[in-house]
Amino acid sequence: MPRRSAKQTGIEVVAIVVVAIIGAFIALWNYLVETKLIWVVPVVIVGGIALQWYLKKQGEKKRILLEIEAEAKRKEAEEKRVEEILAHKAEWGEEMCQWLIEKGINTTQERVVEIMKQIDTFKVETCRNLIERKILLGMTDEMVRLSLGKPTSIDNKEVSAQTEKFRWIYGIPRRGATYISFKDGKVTNIKQ
């Protein structure tokens, strides 16, 4: 007797199951006809449709309630963020607070906190640029580090009696990296 493959055996099992299900439906149908309970079929169908519709509506209600709950949480978080910013109005000034609110800045981020600690030293416009990660000529290496973080690498370091030059690299060289050159601790060139 030839050996059957797993695929052939699987197809045979499926065929047996399908024949058994069809047989069960025929037996049920014959029973319903004989006992005059054939009226149960449309009731079950209509009931099934009604149940499906009801469950769909319940799912829609649940989705809507989840959306409303998520929106309420977003509003609450935004109100808290605005309150935290306005709590610093005396030290940061109304204009800076309004800008932070409008830009959606999270003032609990460590880099933003460190930049805002320096507002009296750096002034408002510089703080805005640093928060938005905009580096300008003349900024100090401290400002750049606060804004962009620690550089990926440092190269071209030259130190003499009169001057110190170096270049910070953010990212992967030749793959969209940003190169920031410094002379005596101040930005002299930015290349992206």
**Domain architecture of the chain: domains with CATH:** 137-192 (3.30.1450.10)
* DSSP letters for 15-47: HHHHHHHHHHHHHHHHHHHHTT-TTHHHHHHHH
Q: Is residue 84 within 8 Å of 107, Cβ to Cβ?
A: yes
Per-residue pLDDT, averaged over 3-9, amounts to 71
Distance from C-alpha of 130 to C-alpha of 118, rounded to nearest angstrom:
11
Q: Which of 192, 180, 175 is nearest to 143 (CA)?
A: 180
Mean pLDDT value across residues 90-112: 94
DSSP character for 176? T
Does the pTM surpass 0.85? The reply is no
Tell me the C-alpha distance between 19 and 13, whole Å: 10
Q: What is the pLDDT of residue 4?
A: 67
- Give the residue-averaged pLDDT of 154-169: 89
**Is residue 134 within 8 Å of 180, Cβ to Cβ?**
no
User: Please, which pLDDT band fits residue 72 given cuts at 50, 70 and 90?
Assistant: very high
Q: How far apart are CA 25 and CA 132, in angstroms?
A: 69
3-class secondary-structure state, position 112: helix
